[in-house]
């Protein structure tokens, strides 16, 4: 558990490990579900999603998840605009990267963007400082490599959430880093029902 607001039905950010043969009952994501497969293969009745798959299941979608061989996912629940109905399925290893015009040592692969949020993968080259103003906050999940920020080291599957009005100042070190990034969404987070 990385972040949670609520009890049984909660706004949550979690890393979930499915043991081989795991299955959940069919259920509806009333507040939406967004996840990234970190390893293994996630499955539901719509398909198999190997490591690197990014899925957005908007509010009111339903599925029956499982993992015959096991998997690990980074998942966010109850963090959608309630009116959002945009479903996304992307294989991140097949996405093009575009060099950031203001940060030439950063390459970006967009995943989803609207007036409320910006979700993307960023590849940070080694031995650089990655700076980013966060007027409405941001979240960062390390997929590969590592970076240092605020006196702390963040390696694979480390998560950093910075509040509105802050600034990311990350040093990539000798390895560089591949990072899942979500911006502009922290001031307008939905509240799950009690």
| Domain 3-91 fold | Jelly Rolls (2.60.120)
Q: What is the pTM of this model?
A: 0.93
The CATH number of the structural domain formed by 95-188 is: 2.60.120.10
Q: Which residues pair with 36 in a beta bridge?
A: 54, 74
**143-154 mean pLDDT:** 97
pLDDT over 70 at 193, yes or no = no
What is d(CA 115, CA 51) in angstroms, rounded to the nearest whole number? 28
HSE at residue 141, side-chain half, CA atoms within 13 A, is 20
**Res 32: pLDDT:** 93
Domain ranges of the chain: 3-91, 95-188
* pLDDT at site 156: 96
Q: Is 3-91's fold the same as 95-188's? A: yes
Average pLDDT over residues 114-134: 96
* Per-residue confidence (pLDDT) for residue 59, from 0 to 100: 94
């Amino acid at each position: 558990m990385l972040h949670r607001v609520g009890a049984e039905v909660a706004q949550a950010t979690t890393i979930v490990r499915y043991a081989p043969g795991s299955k959940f009952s069919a259920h509806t994501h009333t507040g939406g579900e967004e996840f990234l497969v970190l390893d293994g293969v996630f499955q539901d009745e719509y398909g198999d999603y190997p490591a690197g798959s990014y899925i957005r299941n908007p509010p009111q979608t339903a599925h029956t998840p499982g993992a015959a061989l096991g998997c690990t996912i980074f998942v966010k629940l109850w963090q959608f605009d309630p009116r959002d109905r945009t479903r996304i399925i992307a294989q991140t290893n097949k996405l093009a990267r575009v060099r950031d015009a203001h940060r030439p040592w950063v390459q970006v692969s967009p995943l989803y963007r609207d007036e409320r949020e910006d979700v993307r993968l960023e590849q940070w080259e080694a031995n650089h400082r990655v700076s980013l103003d966060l007027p409405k906050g941001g979240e960062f999940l390390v997929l590969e490599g590592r970076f240092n920020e605020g006196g702390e080291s963040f390696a694979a599957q480390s998560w950093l959430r910075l509040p509105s009005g802050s600034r990311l100042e990350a040093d990539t070190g000798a390895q560089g880093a591949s990072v899942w990034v979500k911006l502009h969404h922290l001031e307008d987070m939905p509240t799950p029902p009690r």
